Copies of this chain bind each other. A is one copy, B any other.
Amino acid sequence: MGDGAEFDAIRRLLDIWGSNASGIGDDAAIVDVPSGERLVVSTDASVENVHFRREWLTAEEIGGRAAAAALSDLAAMAATPRGLLLALALPDDWRTELDALARGVGNVASTARCPIIGGNITLASELSLTLTVLGSAVVPLERRGAIIGDDIYVTGRLGGPGAALKSWLGGATPSPEHRARFASPAPRLREARWLASLGAHASIDISDGLLGDAAHLARASHVSIVLDERAIPCVDGVMLDDACVSGEEYELLVAMPHDASIDTDAFEREFGLPITRVGSVVSSAQGTVRFVGGLVPTSRGHDHLK
């Protein structure tokens, strides 16, 4: 690497990432996919004032959240992470936070056992982190495999990120639990592979809200989904209606064969979070989602162009 601010910044990142950074320095990174596995790849951006505000999060949380959001797409496919590339657009007034941003990305990547294999750094007028993640799986789990009779499960408890957002936008301070769910989501990578090993038919991560993502899964699978509102697990202090449209949860919504016999206690012991049967796949109007009790949430989820 040569001289200049750009290469100095890259050297800092490599120092912070240590042995979790690998193969950086060529025009492109080389990734080896284990024999018999298929590669999956996804790209995801976190933009200041669109996905977060500076005053809500620390720089380390911003980096970690961006990495978790990207890795969550690999979780949705039940893939094992193989590499992460960070394209960082760094305004002048964020330069002092470079180390903290890098630590956030590095810690989440490290926890996910995902090497950081490349990236790009550029000036910009607003902070954005665009992460590309590569993973592999023998059979990647898709959205489109749900069939009639499947049970629908959700990991964790919903509503935290939405509640935190509502507090901030209303000028209040979110509860620590709600804030943590927004600031430090965890990609459910091991959980997804556990569910895939039990024969999961289809999966999606909840980024647009339970209702929106259930609709994505239903449409992709050409089925309909009925959710039981009494079963939906909400974090403390969140109403069901809000939990159903809370985005950026990064929990999994999975269609399991009815006879898969999920041991929910074993799941909770293994992963430290609940898994809950929230509904089932039915044969009525394709691509729709409805509730047993007729609940009609007011919003359909998050739109990144609104």
Q: Which of B33, B51, B204 contacts A33 (CB 8 A)?
A: B33
A44 cross-chain contacts in B, Cβ below 8 A: 87, 120
Are the C-beta atoms of B27 and A90 separated by less than 8 Å?
A: no
The 8 A CB mask of A105-134 against B (1 = contact, 0 = none) is: 000000000000111111111101010111
Q: Which of A160-168, A214-222, A258-266 contacts B (4 or more CB under 8 A)?
A: A214-222
User: Which of A3-11, A226-234, A270-278 interfaces with chain B?
Assistant: A3-11
Report how far A121 CA is from B39 CA in the complex, Å: 22
Q: Which of B39, B130, B205 contacts A39 (CB 8 A)?
A: B39
Task: Report B-chain residues with C-beta under 8 Å of the C-beta of A132.
Answer: 41, 43, 85, 87, 132
Complex contacts, A198 vs chain B, CB 8 Å: none
On whether the beta carbons of B120 and A9 are closer than 8 Å, the reply is no
Shortest CB-to-CB span from A124 to chain B, Å, is: 5
Q: Let me know if A238 is at the binding interface, CB within 8 A.
A: no
State A82–B118 Cα separation when bound (angstroms). 18
Is residue A235 within 8 Å, beta carbon to beta carbon, of the partner chain?
A: no
Copies of this subunit: 2
- Some 29 contacts from A to B, beta carbons below 8 A apart, are A1-B216, A1-B219, A2-B219, A2-B300, A5-B305, A26-B76, A27-B72, A28-B40, A28-B73, A28-B77, A28-B135, A30-B38, A30-B39, A30-B40, A41-B85, A41-B117, A41-B132, A43-B118, A43-B120, A45-B89, A45-B120, A47-B124, A49-B125, A87-B87, A87-B132, A121-B304, A121-B305, A122-B305, A124-B126
Nearest CB of chain B from residue A24's CB, rounded to whole Å = 11
B304, A6: Cβ atoms closer than 8 Å: yes
Q: How far in angstroms is the closest Cβ of chain B from A43?
A: 4
> Considering the chains assembled together, what is the distance between the CA atoms of A168 and B116 in angstroms?
37
The residue in chain B whose Cβ has the minimal distance to the Cβ of A208 is B2
Q: Find out whether the CB atom of A304 lies under 8 angstroms from the CB atom of B41.
A: no
Residue of B6, B29, B215 touching A305 (CB-CB under 8 A): B6
The answer to whether A87 and B303 have CB atoms under 8 Å apart is no
**Nearest Cβ on chain B to A164's Cβ, whole angstroms:** 20
Tell me which residues across on chain B come within 8 A of A83, comparing CB atoms. Answer: 41
Chain B residues contacting A87 (CB-CB under 8 Å) are: 43-45, 87, 130, 132
Asked whether, in the complex, the Cβ of A122 is within 8 Å of the Cβ of B43, the reply is no
Tell me the nearest residue of chain B to A8, going by C-beta: B305
Is A301 engaged at the interface, CB distance under 8 Å to the other chain? Answer: yes
5 other contacts beyond A27-B76, A32-B39, with CB at 8 A cut-off? Answer: A43-B43, A43-B120, A44-B87, A123-B305, A124-B128
